[in-house]
Chains A and B, each alone.
Chain A
Amino acid sequence: MYDTPPPIKPTHIDILRANRRQQARAIRGPQSALTDFLASNNISARQIQDDYANRQAEAARQANETQRQSVDAEQARSPSEPNSPEDLIKKRKRQQAIARIKNSKEFAKRKARLNGNDDPDYDDEDLANEIHEERQRPQPGQLANCEICEKRFTVTPYSKAGPNGGLLCPDCSKKHKADEKKPPAKKRATGNIGRRQNQANLLDGLTPHGTQSLLETCIKKVADYIHDVEDFGDLPPSLLLRLGQILSRRRAVTSKTLDLFLRPQYRSIDLFDCAKLDTDDFHKILASMPHLTRVNLRFTTPLKDEIIQYMVDRDMQIKDLHLDGPNLVTDACWRLLFMKLGHRFLSLKLWNLNSAFDDETTQVMCTHCPNLQRLKLKFLHRTGNGTLEAISTLQSLEHLSLHYLKETEIDPKHLLTIVDNVGPRLKTLSLEEFEFADDSLLQLIHEKCHSLVKLRLSKNFTFTDKGLAAMFTNWPNKALTYVDMNSLRDVDMTNPNGPEEPIGLASSGFVALMEHSGGKIQHLNVASCRHIPYQAFEQVFAEGKVYPELKYLDISFCPAVDDYIAMSIFRCCPALQRLVVFACFNVRDIHIPRGLAVIGTVGATVKIDGVAQTETV
């Protein structure tokens, strides 16, 4: 029977039915009631059949299909067209198709999706029409004419629908897409920043609860709008410094922003990123701030001889010179600087020099800077034993930081000479990566250095636990406030637990260190001291022990640390602000007191005291 019109695309079943009907046509008998009914409505079965055959042929040919459909669609859209029998049938079919669509799941889904926008003109009928048209579109692989440019093209699953429901050729869809405005980017929900951001904030020293200070918020905002700022007015130097730090970190210190930092009346300048400045800018700094006594410039690759020459020519009153990476300055110029201005220098800090500054320059420096109290030399490629010898002659030295390149061959006996000669006055001693320095150095520090406040002995695999313990035991030096002992450990890959007699900071050394300095210590770094056993941690952070001033503790890569030790640390260190626990994989589930940032937990459950929200950091 013909109770439902066949779909436009004939299916296998439809073709079978058609065949059956054709067979039936051969037999002529009394007409059925339906045929009578249809005839009375000006519909003939014959007509329908012909129609159907036509459509089949057309589907096979495909060539004219798109055109025909657009005609169909047009006729459907204007129902007042003259009602030829054919049109009437099409209209009926269309209506039935739409009725079916209205009952379909897809329709319900789309309707639900559309319910958000209350467009009164957009009712069920429109939606059904739309779906109907979509279904009539050619399938991928077929050919169609573009709705806009009328060009023929092959339909793909990616073909876009045009404004009137037809399909667009690739060229037109590109243009059409460009015309469409992109929806505004989804706003990130505030208050729900991800784990990565949490970790970044922790590393910046922000604890994850409470608000930031108004000052910090404002400084950040000023930094955001730095290019609109014409003048800072009389901003106090401390704020200028902080702003300089933030801008440097964002690499926003340029010739333009530099002007904001130039204050003729100020005596110091701190810029942590000078990479975007040129020779003129350096001139400008020195020329517009003639009273400078403290020059702290980092990333000064563009700084050339003529700038140093300018300082010398003007006989500037510089007392503190801190320069990172001024690689274009030649040895001759360095020597000239020390000879002319060296007598005023109180502190000198140099980092990352690879083309100049050799041992001979250091000797000139030590001869002409007799008042030097603070000296930091890090990664000066061309210095070696000669520099160490020269440093041991500095009679006023109080703060000494040395970090050589790993490749530099250093004779540890020069370090002994330094400690022997300048040790008694030293308040700061920082010796990084002197891998072959041995217990005799520790012994000498124990004997000679009695005014130390800050001690850094890191990246060494020769010190023994015994030697370290001996240094801290009965040491006349008063308690240290800053101790960095990171990476004192054995580095034999085949024996990860180290030899029987522990190398580096282990049980007795750690206990002795905390016995000696526990009362005053503020900053302690024992990262990568792998041989500190669980018992030593237990003993150091036992019940009743208190380290009242400890603010920063780094115990990364100490595999012994677990939840219990972590909780003991919280109990023993009431002032602790930061605890660094990278690669302490046994820290799984901890309860952090307020105001403390724990950095480097991996997948641990972290609860914060007194804060409503809990989360996994």
Chain B
Amino acid sequence: MADSASEYVTLISHDDYEFIIPRSAACISGTIRRMLDPSSKFSEGLTGRCKLDDMSGVVLEKVCEYFCYHEKYKDQTNVPDMDIPPELCLELLMAADYLDT
């Protein structure tokens, strides 16, 4: 149970890149929030590790970047859009749709 309350969570891409980010940032994603909800008793919720099988490390890195970007700017006005490399945007779009962010 200690893990489920931990301040940080680990996101793992299908090619085994691990990203350790603050729980609050990861929970911007509705999907991850539901995965990590301790009351749901999913293994992710208990261990604090989310394996995201349909995302490559590159995409997940960008997703994590967005999480932190969102955290940083949530209380500011007129935030510029995050820069997304064009070649990634379709994959990222699918990822964003899956993650509900």
Question: Chain A: residues with CB nearer than 8 A to chain B?
Answer: 190-193, 198, 208-215, 217-222, 224-225, 228-229, 232-233, 235-236, 238-239, 608, 610-613, 615
Supposing A211-B73, A211-B74, A213-B101 touch, asked if A191 and B80 sit within 8 A by C-beta, the answer is: yes
A225 and B97 contacting across the interface, CB-CB below 8 Å: no
Supposing A210-B79, A213-B101 touch, asked if A233 and B96 sit within 8 A by C-beta, the answer is: no
B86 and A221 contacting across the interface, CB-CB below 8 Å: yes
Q: List 27 A-B contacts (CB under 8 A).
A: A191-B80, A193-B78, A208-B77, A209-B76, A209-B77, A210-B70, A210-B75, A211-B74, A213-B101, A214-B63, A214-B70, A214-B82, A214-B92, A215-B93, A217-B81, A218-B89, A218-B96, A219-B93, A221-B89, A224-B86, A225-B86, A229-B90, A232-B90, A233-B94, A235-B90, A239-B97, A608-B77
**Complex: how many Å from CA A191 to CA B79?**
6
A222 and B89 contacting across the interface, CB-CB below 8 Å: yes
Which label, helix, strand, loop or mixed, suits the secondary structure of the A interface?
loop
Q: Say whether B69 faces chain A, with CB atoms less than 8 Å apart.
A: yes
Residues of A within 8 A of B89 (CB): 218, 221-222, 225
5 closest residue pairs by CB, A with B = A218-B93, A190-B80, A214-B96, A215-B96, A221-B89
Q: Who on chain B is nearest to A228 by CB?
A: B86
**Complex: how many Å from CA A615 to CA B96?**
31
Residues of B within 8 A of A214 (CB): 63, 66, 70, 82, 92, 96, 99, 101
Q: Say whether B84 faces chain A, with CB atoms less than 8 Å apart.
A: yes
Residues of B within 8 A of A608 (CB): 77
A597 CB to closest chain B CB (Å) equals 12
Residues of A within 8 A of B99 (CB): 214
Taking A211-B74, A233-B90, A613-B78 as known contacts, 17 extra A-B pairs with beta carbons closer than 8 A to each other, sorted by chain A number, are A190-B80, A191-B79, A208-B77, A209-B79, A211-B66, A214-B82, A214-B99, A215-B101, A217-B84, A225-B86, A229-B90, A233-B94, A235-B90, A235-B93, A235-B94, A239-B97, A612-B75
Indicate the member of A191, A198, A221, A236 with the most B CB atoms within 10 Å. Answer: A221
**Complex: how many Å from CA A289 to CA B69?**
41
In the complex, per-residue mask of B52-86: 1 if CB is within 8 Å of any chain A CB, else 0: 00000000000100100110011111111110101
Residues of A within 8 A of B94 (CB): 233, 235
**Complex: how many Å from CA A219 to CA B89?**
8
Indicate the member of A209, A220, A232, A233 with the most B CB atoms within 10 Å. Answer: A209
Contact of B75 among A191, A209, A212, A218 (CB under 8 A): A209
B50 CB to closest chain A CB (Å) equals 16
Question: Chain B: residues with CB nearer than 8 A to chain A?
Answer: 63, 66, 69-70, 73-82, 84, 86, 89-90, 92-94, 96-97, 99, 101
Residues of B within 8 A of A215 (CB): 93, 96-97, 101
Residues of B within 8 A of A228 (CB): 86
**Complex: how many Å from CA A270 to CA B11?**
36
B101 and A613 contacting across the interface, CB-CB below 8 Å: no
Residues of A within 8 A of B74 (CB): 209-211
B8 CB to closest chain A CB (Å) equals 21
Residues of B within 8 A of A221 (CB): 84, 86, 89
**Complex: how many Å from CA A221 to CA B81?**
10
B96 and A213 contacting across the interface, CB-CB below 8 Å: yes
Residues of A within 8 A of B86 (CB): 221, 224-225, 228
A217 and B82 contacting across the interface, CB-CB below 8 Å: yes
B33 CB to closest chain A CB (Å) equals 14
B76 and A222 contacting across the interface, CB-CB below 8 Å: no
Residues of B within 8 A of A239 (CB): 93, 97
Q: Who on chain B is nearest to A224 by CB?
A: B86
Residues of A within 8 A of B96 (CB): 213-215, 218
Residues of A within 8 A of B82 (CB): 211, 214, 217
Q: Who on chain A is nearest to B86 by CB?
A: A225
Residues of B within 8 A of A235 (CB): 90, 93-94
**Complex: how many Å from CA A235 to CA B95?**
11
Residues of A within 8 A of B69 (CB): 211
A208 and B78 contacting across the interface, CB-CB below 8 Å: yes
Q: Who on chain A is nearest to B80 by CB?
A: A190
**Complex: how many Å from CA A559 to CA B96?**
44
Residues of A within 8 A of B76 (CB): 209-210, 611-613
**Complex: how many Å from CA A198 to CA B77?**
10
**Complex: how many Å from CA A229 to CA B93?**
13
B30 CB to closest chain A CB (Å) equals 10
B79 and A222 contacting across the interface, CB-CB below 8 Å: no
A436 CB to closest chain B CB (Å) equals 48
**Complex: how many Å from CA A69 to CA B67?**
68
**Complex: how many Å from CA A611 to CA B70?**
14
Residues of A within 8 A of B63 (CB): 214
**Complex: how many Å from CA A600 to CA B92?**
35
Residues of A within 8 A of B73 (CB): 210-211
Q: Who on chain B is nearest to A613 by CB?
A: B77
**Complex: how many Å from CA A436 to CA B16?**
70
B44 CB to closest chain A CB (Å) equals 20
**Complex: how many Å from CA A193 to CA B81?**
12
Q: Who on chain B is nearest to A225 by CB?
A: B86
**Complex: how many Å from CA A15 to CA B81?**
69
Residues of A within 8 A of B80 (CB): 190-191
B52 CB to closest chain A CB (Å) equals 14
Q: Who on chain A is nearest to B99 by CB?
A: A214
Q: Who on chain A is nearest to B79 by CB?
A: A211
Residues of A within 8 A of B79 (CB): 191, 209-212
Q: Who on chain B is nearest to A190 by CB?
A: B80
**Complex: how many Å from CA A192 to CA B82?**
15
B90 and A611 contacting across the interface, CB-CB below 8 Å: no
Residues of B within 8 A of A610 (CB): 75
**Complex: how many Å from CA A587 to CA B44?**
50
Residues of B within 8 A of A210 (CB): 70, 73-76, 79
Residues of B within 8 A of A233 (CB): 90, 94
Q: Who on chain B is nearest to A197 by CB?
A: B78
**Complex: how many Å from CA A556 to CA B101?**
33
**Complex: how many Å from CA A82 to CA B18?**
79
